[in-house]
Amino acid sequence: MKRNDVDILEVSTDSKDCGFDEPKEEKRSYLGSKNDKLGGTKAPEIIEKIHEDAEGEETVNTMKMKIKKPEEERCENMWRLKTLNPSNYFYIRHRTSLLCLPDPRFSVIAMAIRKLLALSRRRLVPSGHRSTSTTSAATLATPAAAAPSLAKPPVMPYDRLVQEVRSKIKKLDDPDPRFLRYASPHPDLADHTPILAAPETRVTTLPNGLRVATESTLASRTATVGVWIDAGSRFETDETNGTAHFLEHMIFKGTESRTVRQLEEEIENMGGHLNAYTSREQTTYYAKVLDKDVPKALEILADILQNSSFDEKRIERERDVILREMEEVEGQTEEVIFDHLHATAFQYTPLGRTILGPAQNINSITKEHLKNYISTHYTAPRMVISAAGAVKHEDLVELVKKKFPKLSNNPITASQLMAREPAIFTGSEIVFSSLTTTVCDIQVRIIDDDILLAQFAIAFSGASWTDPDSIALMVMQSMLGSWNKNSGWGKHMGSGLVQRVAINDIAESVMAFNTNYKDSGLFGVYAVAKVSHLFLISYEILCSYHRSVIDWYTGRLFCVKRPKHIGVVGPKPDCLDDLAYAIMHEISKLCYRVSETDVIRARNQLKASLQLHMDGTSPIAEDIGRQILTYGRRIPVAELFARIDAVDASTVKRVANRFIFDQDVALAALGPIQSLPDYNWFRRRTYMLRY
């Protein structure tokens, strides 16, 4: 029976009390229950043990089991002990099994068991009905004994542990949507010393919504302190695109109390380093200084964020600086590819805009634009003061209270702004005739024969930061891997994509990428075609060939430089075809053929990469600030590793079928790419699975 959800072992000397018939055979039998902790393979061992200890007495006779119906699974179950004498039975109710043994009075061990059962029975019996001797089931069946106890049963430590576990499981079943919630968050380690020795990340939220987060390593002699702001280029409009990056430049050009010269001298006199960067969703200003200069560095950060002067002459001078920076970026083909990849993947949405903005916007940004951006987006609830290294949390909190009194407490969050203009993935490609032309179609292909390298990026819609499958995509990125010809190794790497590219010698480099945003992402591969197969045929020699040969050369080898009368130039025939096929084959293979060995290798590589990235106070401060803005907390390394270890081959195939199988793709390409397959070819390869 049960009282207050506590199992009670019931003892009886009458077979009819327990509602079972007498055994009709002496042959010992056993029926196990896989859910019975006392059943299975252990029950026969228990029987043999009692039989050996009771040597010389009456032996075990019969054993049966009564399997109750599913609807009665909450009821009590029974182990029954019997002897050859039908009038002398001993019963124990527990689980779903029935055990028949000699009378316990004939065995010392059985007597000990009987005593324990009596004590467990006595614990929940009212004090007025307790006795010093073992009580039979018939006696306990009286109305007085069956009456409910007035006193509450004691709460055992195990019961409290069960309640705590149930409450934690309930929280895991319904987690905060801001938190990363994939697989098991509990680390499975033999030694928890690394977890206990890891420094604690402390977070304090001020009344105005500003958050202060620190990770103290007092043994360090340096520290990094910075401001992470939940604002970037995606919070701009088409007319103001480029304001966030322009503001990053102007923020260091003097304040109401410091000129540019004074600001630079203070940083140099400390021997520190002051820097900033802007992304599509975040803006960061940070300083790396000695431990004794942390208050001074925080004061400078507070001054430039709250009291910038934005001198008109400085604004005009900075326009030229940014325009020159844009020219430098246009020469970095990888930056160009990914900017155009965002433009085609997120067409007509904020994520499709570039960080620097178009040149016409740079020429039209004014002082009012900068101030409006600060008042709208540089608010306390959207900012995090992050520090790592030789800092004390309490001291930093007091400094922040004194140095940041002017921040607005506008309650509008970045999520509310993104809900107005969400990021929508559009599968397409954009075609350009050169680097300087504008978008003329729904294709992105920059055909420029003066560029010797053929480069392209293929991307699928990815996961957001808080998507449950974001961890699996990180593992898939490690499975595809990255490789560069100059690295000197690749043919023996575990990645199938790297092996194909390195062995066939069809590319200069390949790189899998996984970019996360708050409501979307990009997952794919960036590749650069091999240039060792470039060759030149003079125009005079080409003209001496038959017309069919000339047509073949001009059709297969991509271009004829007629203005310079040089001839035909281009990579090896079908080089881009082979490279495109290798990439799409290995990506699509994740949907149906994944080995556990590859997953384990990718998990280990991912964990090692994350650990190596956290070497230094600046990466730690950056990680704290980003995670506080993204998840609302700092995810411990042990928890993150536990989530990574929970990814297996079946998980990879499930996630790949969600994001890759028969899904639209975005494509951006640059250089001599005439032989690159068209968009429909790439789209078909997402569901044409070849073994």
Contacts of 77 (CB under 8 A, 6+ apart): 66, 68, 93, 94, 95, 96, 97
| Rounded alpha-carbon distances, angstroms, from residue 638 to 9, 166, 189, 589 | 42, 22, 9, 30
> Do the domains spanning 201-420 and 445-531+578-684 agree at the CATH topology level?
yes
Question: Rounded distance, CA 353 to CA 520, Å?
Answer: 15
Q: What beta strand segments (E) does 504-583 contain? A: 507-516, 521-529, 535-538, 567-570
Condensed to tens digits (0 to 9), the pLDDT of residues 654-676 reads 999 999 999 999 999 988 887 88
Reported confidence tier of residue 60, pLDDT bands at 50, 70, 90: very low
Catalytically active residues are: 248, 318
Cα–Cα distance, 377 to 413 (Å, whole number): 9
What fold is seen in the domain 445-531+578-684?
Cytochrome Bc1 Complex; Chain A, domain 1 (3.30.830)
Q: How far is it, in rounded angstroms, from Cα 177 to Cα 124?
A: 44
Summarised one tens digit per residue, pLDDT across range 564-590 is: 444 545 545 557 888 999 999 999 999
Would you state the structure tokens that stand for residue 564, as one six-digit string? 């310079």
Closest to 141 (Cα-Cα) out of 309, 313, 273, 12: 12
Cα separation, 366 vs 247, whole angstroms:
10
* pLDDT level of residue 638 (50, 70, 90 thresholds): confident
Give strand pairing partners of 204: 212
Place of tokens 């060792």: 532
* pLDDT tens by residue, 112-171: 666 666 665 555 444 444 444 444 444 444 444 444 445 555 656 656 656 665 665 555
Pairing type for strands 521-529 and 507-516 reads antiparallel
Distance CA 141, CA 160 (A): 30
Give the tens place of pLDDT for each residue, 484-509.
888 767 677 888 899 889 888 888 89
CA–CA distance, 203 with 321 (Å, rounded to integer): 38
> Best-predicted range by mean pLDDT among 146-155, 195-204, 208-217, 522-531?
208-217
Q: What is the pLDDT of residue 615?
A: 87
HSE-CB at 239 with a 13 A cutoff on CA atoms is 4
Contact 287, 267 (CB under 8 A): yes
Q: How far is 59 from 83, CA to CA, in rounded Å?
A: 8
Q: 217 phi and psi, to 5 degrees?
A: -130, 85
* 583, 660 Cβ separation under 8 angstroms: no
| C-alpha gyration radius of the chain | 36
Q: Name which of 122, 121, 125, 119 is nearest 150 in CA terms.
A: 125
Question: What is the pLDDT, as a whole number, of residue 265?
Answer: 93
Which DSSP state fits 522? E
Segment 362-370 shows an average pLDDT of 93
Task: Give residue for tokens 């004074």.
Answer: 262
The predicted pLDDT at position 2 comes to 41
Q: Which CATH number fits domain 201-420: 3.30.70.260, 3.30.160.20, 3.30.830.10, 2.60.40.420?
A: 3.30.830.10
User: How many other C-beta atoms lie within 10 A of the C-beta of residue 77?
Assistant: 19
676: amino acid identity, one letter = L
DSSP letter at 486? G
Q: Is 278 helix (H, G, I), strand (E, B) or coil?
A: strand
Using alpha carbons, list the distances in angstroms from residue 213 to 225, 582, 612: 10, 45, 22
Looking at residue 502, what is its pLDDT?
87
Query: The pTM is what?
Result: 0.67
Tokens 């702001």, located at residue: 229
How far, in Å, CA of 349 to CA of 235, rounded?
10
Between 225 and 138, where is the model more confident?
225
Q: Which residue has the higher pLDDT, 184 or 35?
A: 184
3-state secondary structure at position 206: coil
pLDDT for the residue 104:
44
d(CA 392, CA 204): 13
Collapsing DSSP to helix, strand or coil, 290 comes out as strand
Question: Domain locations in the chain?
Answer: 2-146, 201-420, 445-531+578-684, 535-570
At a CB cut-off of 8 Å and minimum separation 6, what does 551 contact? none
Q: Which residue has the higher pLDDT, 587 or 536?
A: 587
| β 201-205/6-7 pair status | unpaired
> pLDDT-based confidence at 345, cuts 50/70/90?
very high
pLDDT band at 70 (very low <50, low <70, confident <90, very high): very low
